[in-house]
Structure 1
Amino acid sequence: MKRRRKSKRGAWIDSLLIGSIITLTTMIIITTFMTGHFKFQQPTVSATTKYPVETSSLIEERSTAFADIPLISETSANKLISYSLEYPKTPFNQVNGIINQYIEQVKNDYINTLVEMHKAGNNHASGDLNISTDIYDWNRQYYSIVLKKRLSLDQDSSHESFKTIVFHKDTGDIVESGALLNQNTEYFHLLANYLRSELKKTYGKDLLEEKLDDALSDWDDLNRFAIMNDSIAFYFNQGEVAQELAGSAVINIPTSFLNPILATDFQNGEASKVTILTPKKKVALTFDDGPHPQVTKQILDILEKHNAKATFFMLGKQVEKNRDIALEVLNRGHEIGNHSYNHPVLTKQTTSQTAWQIDHTSKVIHDVTGEYPTVFRPPYGATNRMVESVVEIPVVLWTIDTYDWKYRDPNKLLPFVQAKLHDGAIILMHDIHQSTADGLESVLTYLEQEGYECVTVSEILAKNNR
């Protein structure tokens, strides 16, 4: 009997001890989670794959400037599978679901890629994955979350891409581009065309036109955006619309510029003289007497930076000396005009001499570029019935003379443009003077601010003849 009592007492003590351990462990876990600061190891390897090393995460939570949105920081404990992930936790399950699904997908794709590299024989496969977070508060009504991902494999150059979520602060309702623009398809096309223009300026010759068209074809293509204090930013992944090495792009558009096409909730009270609905005024920039081996190239780069088109009135003898530059002018989308062979005063020439100056120059330009000039400008602007009788293409003079040929001062270029600027203006410059290249940037910036688009002379002639 004594032995039985002793055995029962021992079992009772063991049960009490086990229960105490379970209770204490539970209290520790609850206390840790309630503090909002916790660390633990979390396996991250896919159940369908096996990597030859352990993969686990160290997870922490920290506060931000936004009281209701803490940040989760997740760091790999393994050097070969290196990652550092930072993402927000919002008060809304719908928003968190989108964020968490994205994070898990990116992480699993990354780990599985390394696994496949290892299976393929790369026993030292390694990489680095980084996701950072920016949070923007718009008008105390909406949050914009921007997740920026940088990924590199085996120490190759990193690839950058974006995930954005815009949602209402009170309801958690997601805002997409359709709601931003009142579901107006005309507004969609206006914005898409504006973004197309800005991306061409950003990427220049690295832009891939086919990819650009695909990236701006429907509403979903404009859903990668964030609403900031005074602008709306649209994000384009690396390699999405341009060469991979050209990197990613963020196009920031002032909200005041977009106000007329935005839904009421997203407009601000700022007025703008020029908006996305302002009819585009047009001017033609023209450059005479080239091409020049150095200056013309500089001018082409400045024009490309501002997405501006121009007409180059070339001398036949200069085309022969600078064949590659003449061809580059055409390849960059500019218009080539005939400016005679060696710049004589044609009104003092015979009919046959004038015909030779024009015809021979057209032939030289065609031999070099594969295309004939589309417009003609007589040297010094000197023309008469005889000259015009032998020219079979439009004769074009100018409405604004910058006097760059006279003063050779980059600071005098803009004032002459400002003094006579008008819609449909044809501006005379010369791509043989360094001072012209030096002053061109300020002219183009001013034209943009005033809402002007720089087009070819032929476009101006077509516009004026409507």
Structure 2
Amino acid sequence: MEKKKTIIALLTSGFLLFAMVVVNLIVTVTDHNKTVWATNTTKSPYENIDIKTRQAKEKQYHLAFQYPVFKNASLNKNFEQYVKGKETDFLKEIKKIDEKKLMKEPASLSLTFELIPAGGDVYSILINEKTYVTAEKSRSSAEIFVIDIEDGAFAKPSALFIDPDKASSALHTPVDLKSSTLFIQKNMVVFLNKHEKREGSLPIKKVAPFLKKEWRDRFSFEESEEKTAAGEKVKKIALTFDDGPNPESTEAILATLKKHQAKATFFMLGNRVERYPELVDKIVQEGHEVGNHSWSHNDFTKLESADVKSEIDRTAAAVEAAAGVSPLAVRPPYGATNENVNEVIGVKPVLWTIDTMDWKSHDPKAICAIVKKEAKDGSIILMHDIHQTTAEALDELVSSLQKQGYEFVTVSDI
């Protein structure tokens, strides 16, 4: 009996000792990972945006975070998660470093931010990160997000584009939009190189067709008059081509435009876009504008509103899939429109001021004669890139007007 009691006592003591060790380990781990924060929130220069500062000074590491606080709970959640992710990654990294070394020279992580008004409720946020783990592992980097403080939209800049690669190529951006950094400041898109230095910029109006609709609709596109070096207004004229693309005649037209360094707008039919996507992409990559001319060339004034919308939406989707760009300019078939059609398409329709009647005459000389007679600053010329005779007329037409000092631009630049 006494032997049994002794065994039980020993087992009980052993269990208690084991429990004390476990508890001690838990406390030790908890204490080791517990970070004591000093937190402060102040007003920013911008309405409805505050600045939160959090600092912690532990024996082995120092943390200093500064980030924005909004009225929008969704945005705040995104930023809290972002900051927490940075903290977690940092703490994982320093676990690999010898503790004695950290006690002698603590690691550190700091996050600061810069708020850049982009236009309306949209801001670019530049987050600067500085990390010191050891002398060999010291680094700094920057990351940018674009946000809407009203509805909580939150995205990396590359996510604003339908297709970053196609946009980068077509816009001739100085950096790769997919992997590089950019921010939007007062309706200008600013590009940064790998060293986070400004590499160039473009008006957001130029970039707009390449943006996803949910982001494009957040910006206003201010008009600006282009001036010559002498301060005089440039004489502009817009060539527009309907009903294409067509592999033979459109290709010939592109070659002539390239020869004269002239730009044009192609109002395309969706069913032809679907047939010739590579040609659509080529048109965009060569710096021309793509417009929406419906899917099947039906008279919009004779269609139900839902059918008009379908014609526009299907064509837009086909162009986006082919070239990574939205056809923002709309020209109804036959130029036929009314109040209801205008409401459905949602933009002012682009018509024309000079009708070359190329579809009727099929005569290059007659086409040129009409343009030469009627051309003036701001003219919008109607032609059709499905006719070979139109392609044949273009070289003389462009040469003649360039000699008169005209610059060939897209309709959006008129």
TM-score band w.r.t. shorter chain: 0.3 to 0.5
Larger Rg: 1
TM-score by length of 2: 0.44
TM-score by length of 1: 0.39
Higher RCO, 1 or 2 (CA under 8 Å, sep at least 6)? 2
